[in-house]
Amino acid sequence: MHALRFAFPLLLALLSSNLLAQDQAPKEDKYYPLKKGSTWEYVTAGKSFRIELVEFEMVGDTLCAKLESILNGNTVASEHVAVKDDGVYRYKYNNIEINPPLKFLVLPAAPDKTWQVDSSAQTPGGEQLNLKGTFTTKAEPVKVPAGDYQTISSSSSSFEVMGQKLEMNYFFAPDVGMVKQIVKVGNSTVVVELQKYTPGEQQQ
């Protein structure tokens, strides 16, 4: 009886949290729209995949959008992101929490802004991942299969993951989101380009 007495309020709180996430939509920005059902179709190295906003979930006390990367009908990755007044943050990647959440786009989006990130994450196997770097923004025109865009780029030339240095470049367009990404690790370069964006329905 004592166990049930304590378990019921906890269960009620969890249910209330889930219902809140379903009934609300997180804050969004024109450079990072977050409408449920939105899809971004990309191409990289001749292969197509899509990112879909599948639902809204609570991560701690923050309402996040859950984005899934889908290749050949299979979900190959997921992330939880949230838009805050000062930027767009990644809270989880493949259900691994990032502490503190990593800001990869500053808001309001504008050129000539700089910020540092210093986060960590622990894998299910107990490995500690350290994520460090300095980001800067620029105004840059971008041409991708989906069209021509005037973007704000968010770039880090000295990002480190467990001591491994890499270069990261995101390009965000108004009312679309990420239209291009370039990641360089050693002598390898991965380029991701938008083919099509389909906005989801406005949350009521």
For the beta carbon of residue 50, count every other beta carbon within 10 angstroms.
Answer: 15
158-202 pLDDT, tens per residue? Answer: 898 877 889 999 999 999 999 999 999 989 999 999 999 999 986
> In terms of residue numbers, what domain contains 123?
26-198
| pLDDT at 156 exceeding the cut of 50 | yes
Instruction: Judge if the upstream peptide bond of residue 108 is cis by omega within 30 degrees of 0.
Output: yes
64-114 pLDDT, tens per residue? Answer: 999 999 999 999 999 999 999 999 999 999 999 999 999 999 999 999 999
Q: How many domains does the chain have?
A: 1
With respect to residue 17, please indicate whether it lies within any of the assigned structural domains: no
Whole-angstrom distance between the N-terminal and C-terminal Cα of the chain? 41
Torsion angles phi and psi, residue 203, rounded to 5: -70, 130
Write the CATH number for 176. 2.40.360
Contacts 24+ apart (CB under 8 A), 67-73: 71/47
Average pLDDT value for residue range 44-50: 97
- The predicted model scores a pTM of 0.86
With respect to residue 193, please indicate whether it lies within any of the assigned structural domains: yes
- Taking only Cα atoms into account, the Rg of the chain, rounded to an integer number of angstroms, comes to 18
Residue 111 CA to residue 134 CA, distance in Å, equals: 15
